[in-house]
């Protein structure tokens, strides 16, 4: 029975989607070999990226004033929101084909639960957990090398800024997904935008002014790693901007949710 009241309804939906996740994990663990191979593949890919970063700094001492361990810390932080995003948003990539073209969105509309929640929680990408763990490990390693003194407020900052930054990722790709309600898009827009995530793993100051503007205000990937990471690096020029990360995440994600709702009203069944 659907509960009354906004808070009661939110708790009810969170309980349902938590059950979705538990069942998915049980399903994946039933095939432990496949799960292990997938985990090793993702871990190897991240180690290759770290090796590329190390090779880059073997040629130079700093990158526009940023040391190797500072850039490494930014890279590690970038993996945390990316892992949260990849864990929960795998269905956004194939939404057009699975839900619009195949007509599965009809089933979603018939249930008294959030349509967006149903789409995002139908399946998960467990490899996102690997990215979160690897990202935290890289941050700890880089922070130790820089003799970073972390306090309780810094731990709270990770717990707030990481999920807030993931809202930027989710908002951007949710916005791309909603195009499917008006125009069929079989993975046309998402891949090139996803490839631009790599720019978020480096200090934004190494790029020219047009790129900095684009990554800050147009495709705001600078807010998923660089700006929030500067809170911990103590950069006086940017650390205050880190405090705006939750606001940016809410605005980007909230705007996409509004477009999503407009898309659901525009949706017409395939009739199949």
Angle at 97 between CA 93 and CA 100, to 5 degrees: 110
Question: In this structure, how many other beta carbons lie within 10 angstroms of the beta carbon of residue 136?
Answer: 17
Number of folded domains that form the chain: 1
Beta bridge partners of 66: 63
Question: Is the pLDDT reported for residue 186 higher than 60?
Answer: no
Per-residue three-class SS string for 111-180: CCCCHHHHHHHCCCCCHHHHHHHHHHHHHHHHHHHCCCCCCHHHHHHHHHHHHHHHHHHHHHHHHHHHHH
Question: Average of pLDDT values for 71-86?
Answer: 94
Q: Is 162 part of a structural domain of the chain? A: yes
* Residue 257: domain span: 31-266
C-alpha 173/C-alpha 194 separation (Å) is 8
Predicted confidence (pLDDT) per residue in 115-149, tens digit: 999 999 888 888 888 899 999 999 999 999 999 98
pLDDT over threshold 90, residue 77: yes
pLDDT the model gives residue 234: 79
Give pLDDT tens digits for 243-267.
999 999 999 999 999 999 999 988 8
- Band of residue 103 on the pLDDT scale cut at 50, 70, 90: confident
| 46 or 270, which is more confident | 46
Residue 8, domain member (yes or no): no
For residue 250, tell me if it sits in a domain.
yes
Q: Is residue 1 part of a domain?
A: no
> What are the residues facing 63 on neighbouring strands?
66
How far apart, in Å, are the Cα atoms of 247 and each of 121, 131, 251, 255? 24, 24, 6, 12
The mean pLDDT of 88-114, rounded to a whole number, is 86
Question: Is residue 5 in a domain?
Answer: no
Among 36-40, 162-166, 175-179, top mean pLDDT goes to: 162-166
> With 90 as the cut, is the pLDDT of residue 165 above it?
yes
Is residue 15 in some structural domain? no
Say what the pLDDT of residue 98 is: 84
Average pLDDT (33-53) is 76
Q: Which residues contact residue 49 at a Cβ distance below 8 angstroms, ignoring those fewer than 6 apart?
A: 75
Assigned domain for 185 exists: yes
What string of DSSP letters covers 76-105? HHHHHHHHHHHHH-GGGTTHIIIIIIS-TH
CA torsion 4-11-78-134 (nearest 10°) is -160
SS3 62: strand
User: What is the distance between the alpha carbons of residues 166 and 85, in angstroms, rounded to a whole number?
Assistant: 6
- Three-state DSSP class for residue 65: coil
As a whole number, the mean pLDDT across the chain is: 86
- In percent, the amount of the chain with pLDDT more than 70 equals 92
């Amino acid at each position: 029975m659907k509960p009354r009241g906004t808070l009661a309804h939110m708790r009810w939906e969170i309980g349902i989607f938590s059950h979705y996740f538990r069942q998915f994990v049980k399903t994946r663990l039933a095939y432990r070999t496949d799960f292990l191979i997938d985990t090793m593949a993702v871990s190897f890919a991240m180690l290759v990226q770290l090796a590329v970063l190390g090779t880059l700094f073997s040629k130079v001492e700093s990158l526009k004033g940023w040391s190797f361990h500072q850039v490494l810390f930014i890279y590690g932080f970038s993996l945390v929101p990316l892992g949260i995003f990849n864990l929960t948003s795998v269905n956004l990539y194939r939404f057009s084909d699975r839900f619009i073209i195949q007509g599965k969105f009809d089933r979603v509309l018939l249930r008294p639960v959030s349509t967006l929640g149903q789409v995002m929680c139908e399946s998960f990408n467990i490899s996102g957990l690997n990215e979160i763990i690897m990202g935290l490990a890289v941050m700890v390693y880089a922070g130790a090398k820089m003799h970073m003194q972390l306090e309780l407020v810094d731990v709270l900052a990770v717990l707030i800024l990481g999920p807030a930054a993931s809202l930027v990722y989710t908002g951007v790709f949710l916005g791309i997904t909603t195009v499917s309600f008006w125009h069929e898009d079989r993975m046309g827009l998402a891949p090139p935008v996803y490839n631009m995530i790599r720019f978020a793993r480096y200090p934004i100051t190494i790029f020219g002014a047009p790129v900095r503007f684009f990554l800050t205000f147009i495709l705001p990937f600078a807010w998923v790693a660089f700006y929030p990471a500067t809170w911990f690096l103590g950069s006086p020029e940017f650390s205050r901007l880190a405090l705006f990360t939750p606001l940016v995440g809410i605005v980007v994600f909230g705007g996409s949710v509004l477009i999503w709702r407009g898309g659901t009203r525009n949706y017409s069944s395939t009739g199949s």
